[in-house]
Amino acid sequence: MKNTILTFFLIIPLISIAAKYYPGKAVKTDGTELIGYFEEPDFAAVKKIKFKSSLDSKKQKFLSVEFSTLEFTKGEELVKYEVLYYMQAKFLNFKKLKVSKKPIWFKVIERNIDGVSIYVAWGKSNDGRGNISYSMTSYMKLPDEKELKYLQYEGSSMTEIKIGFYKAFTKIIDYYFKDSCPELLTHVTKDLYKEKGVLMLTELYKEHCK
């Protein structure tokens, strides 16, 4: 089931994500729950989320910053999002990370309470001629941290591993883990990267950083 969910998350066509309403539940920042039908966040920084109490009811709009989590069923799969802050690196200088001023929507790819969790943020662009395209960037979260950390640009799919990103990826995780878990770094290989991409971190952390 876990692999099925991951496959569903990682293969997403380049069309508008927010096309339908899906049954689900959202938890707001004040702890209250909102149950009904939701449109999927169209991109990470979308300001408002559309909601219906029933499919026949009038749609309502809520500010994204009002939410902490959102989950809904899409076909037979359970899709999960979280509104989180993330660490920003100016010009990819990861020695000078700053917390983002505002939280954005992140799709949960793999969540581990006691390990590395992997998220993606969807970006949306318009070429000025009405053609919209989407791309995503992967982030990770450690158990004792609140903000997400940048991993790499993924493009349109996490299943298409960009081996040219390997060198940059190893530099980033070296900075993240050199003090807290240097053992993990010794098991990162190009072959493993080609096979699993950033998802390797969930397994390596579980095996070598406990």
pLDDT at 142 over 80: yes
pLDDT at 201 over 90: yes
Quote the CA–CA distance of 159 and 108 in Å, as a whole number. 16
Quote the CA–CA distance of 180 and 124 in Å, as a whole number. 35
For the chain, percent of residues with pLDDT exceeding 90: 65
Quote the CA–CA distance of 54 and 77 in Å, as a whole number. 20
For 188, the token pair is 């990162």
pLDDT at 98: 85
Q: How far is CA 81 from CA 67, 68, 104, 106, in A?
A: 10, 9, 10, 5
User: What does the mean pLDDT of the chain come to?
Assistant: 86
Considering only 41-50, 86-95, 169-178, which range has the smallest mean pLDDT? 86-95
pLDDT at 96: 74
pLDDT at 14 over 60: no
- Interval 113-117 mean pLDDT: 95
Considering only 16-25, 156-165, 168-177, which range has the smallest mean pLDDT? 156-165
Which of 26, 11, 10, 118 is closest to 72 using CA atoms? 26
pLDDT digits (tens, 9 = 90+) for 35-73: 999 999 989 999 999 999 999 999 999 999 999 999 999
Q: In b/e form, how buried is each residue of 43-82, taking b as 16+ CB within 10 angstroms?
A: bbebeebbbbeeeeeeeeeeebeebbbbbbeeeeeebbbb
DSSP state of 194: H
pLDDT at 158 over 70: no
Beta strands in 15-160 (DSSP E): 21-28, 33-39, 48-52, 60-63, 67-74, 77-84, 86-89, 97-99, 104-110, 117-126, 132-141, 148-155
pLDDT at 157 over 50: yes
Quote the CA–CA distance of 62 and 51 in Å, as a whole number. 8
